[in-house]
Structure 1
Amino acid sequence: MKFIGLMSGTSVDGIDAALVEVTGKEYNVQIELLATHTGNYPAGLRNRILSVCHGAPLTMADIVELDDEIAISFADVANHLGQADVVASHGQTVYHRPPTNNNLGYSWQLGRGALIAHLTQTPTISDFRAADIAAGGQGAPLVPPVDASLLSDPQRHRCIQNIGGIGNLTYLPPWDRADSPPESIIGWDTGPGNALIDWAVHAFSNGTLTYDHDGNWAAQGNPCQTLIDQWLEQSFFKQPPPKSTGRELFGASYGQRCWQEAQAFDLDQADFLATLTAFTAATIVDSYRQLPRLPDEVLLCGGGSQNGYLRSQLQSRLPDIPILTTDDVGLDSRFKEAIAFAILGYWRWHQHPGNLLTVTGASHPCLLGHIHKVKDHLATEISK
């Protein structure tokens, strides 16, 4: 079957789409990547999404309008790729609350699937996180079972490190994919990925830049290790997995506090960007101390995998471990998340649970996502 996976992450830097031919059963799936496309949000829409992520208050009418505009943007990107059997849309996260001892978690993605189904005239699966959260899970990260299916190696211990707005890892012990995946597959959010770096670049450039291309700006500065050590004392990094996070913690307010603290060290803008980038690397490597063992190799994906300075900071902290990208093993690093949601959609369509309990902490396996079918030119939610 042909699935279109749609993904816009916490960086809000565009909507990635992948048209994927998926075959196989359960975890033994094979893919052929047929086409890819990235669509940019209109500048005004992106700014409104970021404002909501940073806590700006909205009326219900504002929320409805934003929900529709995001869905229309997602549908436009899907239509650019041509016809598929099913669209699997992650939507745009605007709020994520991890579970606590007193409350279930909550994760809110805008871009309603019923409207995407209507605009694409294609059955659409959306709202992938809700079922895992209802079962007591974090609702994140959801990609590790896909990583296991596509990127496990029979001999090597691997870490798949996604660096989007937020970073997350998947630890893959050796697996030949002949049997069910080993229970020792684990994963969690490592902390900030590009979120703080992007915030600082946008602020320092007065809105003319949205990210640090290849880390060139940061490479002009010198990281302050004292500040990095201080920031690593934040309680999230001490929390054992399963765990997840978002801009609610590592957003603009957090970045502003970091900038204020940097004043005591007389850091200029380049020094501060170098420190934020090195801090991101340090949070990733610090997370690896909680693994059963260090990996034989690390495969990067997401926007941060294209940041040369960030990669160099990771390599300096893991000098004996090859730092590669998923491109090096045949999986497009830029579109891996969109590919992953195409597969999660394939599993949902075929009644296969999509969550890993060792990753999210949910109490039981769940079918992830709501299916919206197109009938008589109307999109209606159904149970399949």
Structure 2
Amino acid sequence: MTRVIGLMSGTSVDGIDAALVDIFGTGLDLKIELIAGETYPYPREIRERILSCCAGQTISMLEFAELDDAVALSFAKAAIAIQSGHQKATLIGSHGQTVYHRPLMEYDKGKLGYSLQIGRGILISQLTSITTVNDFRAADIALGGQGAPLVPRVDAALLSHNSESRCIQNIGGIGNVTYIPANDGNWLSQIRGWDTGPGNSLLDLAVEHLTDGAKTYDEDGNWASSGTPDFTLVEQWLKQEYFHIPPPKSTGRELFGVDYLHQCIKDAASFQLSSADFLATLTELTAASIVSSYHNFLPEMPHRVFLCGGGCRNLYLKHRLQQLLGTIPVSTTNEVGLDADFKEAIAFAVLAYWRQTGSPGNLPAATGATQEALLGNIHTPF
């Protein structure tokens, strides 16, 4: 048994998810036990600086270095706090905070993608006195992959089933899916994964815009549920090029961010939507983009869909997904023993464990890499 801390902050930039887990086994034959899970919000100033950086605003190298240090310090504090009252961990897996993601596209022959996560692993290691693994995406990118999504191999280890196919749909700022066929024969090579498009990103940005910053998200989807989506507008938005690119593919705030929201606001102007109608329409875009990607890119529709991430608490979004998927049951990973709120943090604990034990962490079928690879850089405290 190895006790590991997984640390994750996604494109929503709402805080650091920390998971303290015990991991048993090797390779894909794993069992995990969640000891503690907690979300630690960023200080307001740091969150604003991260969002400004993600939006492409110019900062000096000094300011960038200070932000990198501030994120590492926040991650280290989260790692220390999650261990309070528990036996200490011997390993940390830190995803860091993505501030820029430029995936490899089909036309980028002879080039590599690029992805930057700040929050230096070596500083986290020194501050916590715990061996820390970070920079998980670089090795996959060096092998011609997208560097994302990285969770499909973890999903395969923890959530496969002997007789049913499953989609594990994470809804963070960006949505990503892992398709897992029934665990039989050469099932591992048939797993697929990609970023489906916007998750909570446009919804959260819209709420902040509509409330002048007084609110940052639509709790339970209550505001959106009081409106009526405009399906003509959704169909217009679904013509966006990204939705039609076949996997492997990944995306981020660089596409589905502030500029995209402003274009959505402009598109909606002539439809005379109320604020609730606009939020309902953006919610429909998230749901419809997820389901249409299943129809377009899966070998077959899954037997069941399991949600995780912050978006699975959006009851209206969950309802719309169920309506669009018809008879395919939609639930959360809680129902199969994996905490839906902390699944992504758990995944990076597992990826760190695999790096330390010498097991590959990526699935080339999901990322597009030319081969499997050990993911992450190991930093040992002095």
AA partner of residue 220 (structure 2): D
Checking the alignment, whether the CA contact within 8 Å between 1:166 and 1:191 is kept in structure 2 is yes
Residue 8 (str. 1) matches residue 13 (str. 2): no
AA partner of residue 149 (structure 2): P
Residue 285 (str. 1) matches residue 291 (str. 2): yes
CA–CA distance in structure 1, aligned partners of residues 48 and 320 of structure 2: 30
Alignment of 1:233-272 (within 5 A): 233-272=239-278
Checking the alignment, whether the CA contact within 8 Å between 1:224 and 1:275 is kept in structure 2 is yes
AA partner of residue 42 (structure 2): Y
Q: Deviations over 1:88-116 (max 9, x none)?
A: 10000000001132421000000000100
Q: Secondary structure at the match of 1:20?
A: strand
Checking the alignment, whether the CA contact within 8 Å between 2:162 and 2:183 is kept in structure 1 is yes
1:182 aligned partner: 188
CA–CA distance in structure 1, aligned partners of residues 39 and 229 of structure 2: 33
AA partner of residue 363 (structure 2): L
Q: Secondary structure at the match of 1:374?
A: coil
Checking the alignment, whether the CA contact within 8 Å between 2:156 and 2:188 is kept in structure 1 is no
1:144 aligned partner: 152
2:97 pairs with one of 92, 97, 117: 92
Question: What is the deviation of 1:68?
Answer: 0.2
Checking the alignment, whether the CA contact within 8 Å between 2:140 and 2:146 is kept in structure 1 is yes
AA partner of residue 166 (structure 1): I
1:318 pairs with one of 304, 325, 328: 325
Q: Deviations over 1:316-368 (max 9, x none)?
A: 11111101000011110000000000000000001111000100000111110
Q: Secondary structure at the match of 2:381?
A: strand
Q: Deviations over 1:208-231 (max 9, x none)?
A: 111110000101111000010000
| Count of aligned positions | 373
1:378 aligned partner: none
Identity of aligned residues (%): 57
Question: What is the deviation of 1:181?
Answer: 5.0
Q: Secondary structure at the match of 1:104?
A: coil
Residue 105 (str. 1) matches residue 106 (str. 2): no
Q: Secondary structure at the match of 1:342?
A: helix
Q: Deviations over 1:43-78 (max 9, x none)?
A: 111111111111111110111000000000000000
Alignment of 1:1-384 (within 5 A): 1-82=2-83, 83-100=88-105, 101-102=108-109, 103-175=111-183, 182-289=188-295, 290-375=297-382
Q: How well do the aligned residues superpose, as a CA RMSD in angstroms?
A: 1.0
Which stretches in structure 1 are left out of the alignment for 5+ residues? Answer: 376-384
AA partner of residue 242 (structure 1): P
Q: Secondary structure at the match of 2:300?
A: coil
CA–CA distance in structure 2, aligned partners of residues 228 and 30 of structure 1: 41
Residues 25-34 or 64-73, more deviating: 25-34
Checking the alignment, whether the CA contact within 8 Å between 1:144 and 1:186 is kept in structure 2 is yes
CA–CA distance in structure 1, aligned partners of residues 47 and 35 of structure 2: 28
Checking the alignment, whether the CA contact within 8 Å between 1:148 and 1:181 is kept in structure 2 is no
Question: What is the deviation of 1:182?
Answer: 2.3
Which stretches in structure 2 are left out of the alignment for 5+ residues? Answer: none
Q: TM-score, normalised by structure 2?
A: 0.96
Q: TM-score, normalised by structure 1?
A: 0.96
